Amino acid sequence: MSFTAQLNQLQTALRHTRARMLAPFDTQQATIPRDPEIFVEDVLHYVMDEVAKDLKAHGHVLEEDTTFKDTVSHYPLYLLRLAGGDVLNLHFTGEYPDTLFLTISKGFRRPEQFSDARMAHVTLGVSMDPTRLLMAILDGLNRFGH
């Protein structure tokens, strides 16, 4: 499966997640917490857990790589195991609370091995609104075509 086709599989799941998650945002939660772990747990993990449900419906598995630790930003690394056997790394990076990026790259047998020829980089914003984060990921992936 080509890298573009793999990204399309991810986009399909994100669209299903978006349809399920569209809900009014609680304005009392608009303040970005000082502790990055609160943002990661309450927003980032929540969104990715919801995406994982929709990916699973298509035969894919999305799981956090708990062996990866970023002690500065606390942003996670996810592994997307596609039904055909391919693996994509979904790596969130940035300087909390100023920046948040998602880099999607083709996974290899050794975790330290990657190919920048097979990479999608999406700029996201830090927000306590899960729908906003999901939409930013989906909009960013739309740039890579179908």
Question: What pLDDT is recorded for position 1?
Answer: 84
Which one of 13-17, 31-35, 96-100 scores highest in mean pLDDT? 96-100
Lowest mean pLDDT among 80-89, 104-113, 120-129, 134-143: 104-113
Residue 80 in any domain: the answer is yes
Indicate whether 79 pLDDT > 60: yes
pLDDT per position as a tens digit, 116-128: 567 899 999 999 9
Structural domains counted in the chain = 1
Residue 31 in any domain: the answer is no
Q: Cβ–Cβ contacts within 10 Å for residue 142, how many? A: 13
Residue 27 in any domain: the answer is no
Residue 28 in any domain: the answer is no
Task: Identify the domain containing residue 50 by its residue range.
Answer: 3-21+36-142
Residue 26 in any domain: the answer is no
Q: pLDDT: is 16 or 10 the higher one?
A: 10
Residue 29 in any domain: the answer is no
Side-chain-side CA neighbours of residue 113 (13 Å): 5
State how far the Cα of 84 lies from the Cα of 40, in Å rounded to an integer. Answer: 29
Nearest to 22 by CA among 52, 48, 47, 40: 47
